[in-house]
Amino acid sequence: AQSVAQPEDQVNVAEGNPLTVKCTYSVSGNPYLFWYVQYPNRGLQFLLKYITGDNLVKGSYGFEAEFNKSQTSFHLKKPSALVSDSALYFCAVRVYGNNRLAFGKGNQVVVIP
Amino acid sequence: KAGVTQTPRYLIKTRGQQVTLSCSPISGHRSVSWYQQTPGQGLQFLFEYFSETQRNKGNFPGRFSGRQFSNSRSEMNVSTLELGDSALYLCASMASGRSRTDTQYFGPGTRLTVL
């Protein structure tokens, strides 16, 4: 079975500081990893994905994530956080042949002006 | 391209009633998946449809059902509503799901409240 862990409930960061949201996964086989963001009363918005190739993936709005196979991690990063980045962030995983996304519990990111 | 649309956006029902939610995928997408989001359980997969056939199913009771039409639009139905069915129901569309690079794009969701 595939699963995702997001160990922190909330991440607080000052505006302009680097932002990191942690994610670890567990799957049988090669993982396909995703990050989504959710703003209040909205659906999930796709940020980026790792399928294969370069371990550093760049996505929307200045976000990037690094895939680390040995540590089974896929942490989301942004060099300089904005107040508008305050939202709920979800890490998700699936494997080839199964389109079911398994999500982590989500991390609330609060960017302090 | 227009994104995934879901109707209605908000719904209030009482216990024992049934409800039907609708999802229109991105044009050209043939795979539609449904997820339930609650504060306690988080995001949970309900089912996936492709070419009018259920391709995958999550661990939900038979009260939850779905279908897909020839134009790829999908509906999900919940019968005999329970208080615990109160949730945000999200629909996601994907081109086909047969390519490992396929991405699921989500709609805004339908907020169901069961009283």
Greatest alpha-carbon pair distance for chain B in Å reads 42
Q: How far is B30 from chain A (nearest CA, A)?
A: 13
**Nearest CB partner across the interface for B90, out of A41, A44, A105:** A44
CB A19 within 8 A of CB A108: no
Whole-angstrom CA distances from A113 to A14, A74, A102, B19, B27 are 6, 27, 33, 43, 40
pLDDT of residue A42: 85
- Give the Å distances, CA to CA, from B51 to A19, A34, B81, B97, B111: 41, 25, 28, 11, 26
Token representation of residue A63: 């976000």
Beta bridge partners of A102: A93
Which residues numbered 35-94 in A keep a CB inside 8 Å of some CB on B?
36, 41-46, 49, 51-52, 90, 92
Per-residue pLDDT of B35-67, as tens digits, reads 999 999 999 999 999 999 999 999 999 999 999
- Chain segment A56-88, per-residue pLDDT in tens: 999 999 999 999 999 999 999 999 999 999 999
Give the whole-angstrom CA distance, residue B103 versus residue A82. Answer: 26
> What number of CA atoms fall less than 13 Å from residue A14's CA on the CB side?
2
Residue in A43, A51, A90 nearest the CB of B108: A43
Task: State mean pLDDT over B75-95.
Answer: 97
The DSSP letter of residue B79 is -
User: What would the pLDDT profile of A2-57 be if each residue is shown by its tens digit?
Assistant: 899 999 889 999 999 999 999 999 998 889 999 999 998 889 999 999 998 899 99
Which residue of chain A comes nearest to B10, CA vs CA? A41
pLDDT value at residue B42: 94
Instruction: State which residue of chain A sits closest to B4, comparing Cα positions.
Output: A43
Which one of B100, B110, B113 would you mutate to disrupt binding with A, by most A Cβ within 10 Å of its Cβ?
B100
Phi, psi angle pair for B95, to nearest 5°: -55, -60
Residues 29-88 of B with CB under 8 A from A: 31, 33, 35, 42-43, 45, 48, 55-56, 58
Per-residue model confidence (pLDDT) at position B98:
76
User: What gap in Å lies between CA A66 and CA A53, rounded to an integer?
Assistant: 11
Cβ-contact B73, B15 below 8 angstroms: no
* Tokens coding A97: 């042949």
pLDDT of residue A29: 87
A98 confidence band (pLDDT: 50, 70, 90): confident
∠B26-A77-A112 over CA atoms, to 5°?
100
Contact A99 B4 (CB under 8 A): no
Mean pLDDT across A102-106: 96
Mean pLDDT of chain B: 95
Q: Per-residue pLDDT for B100 more than 80?
A: no
Structure tokens at B25: 């995928």
CA distance B70 to B48: 15
Average pLDDT of span B9-38: 97
Q: What is the pLDDT of residue A58?
A: 96
> A102 and chain B: CB distance < 8 Å anywhere?
yes
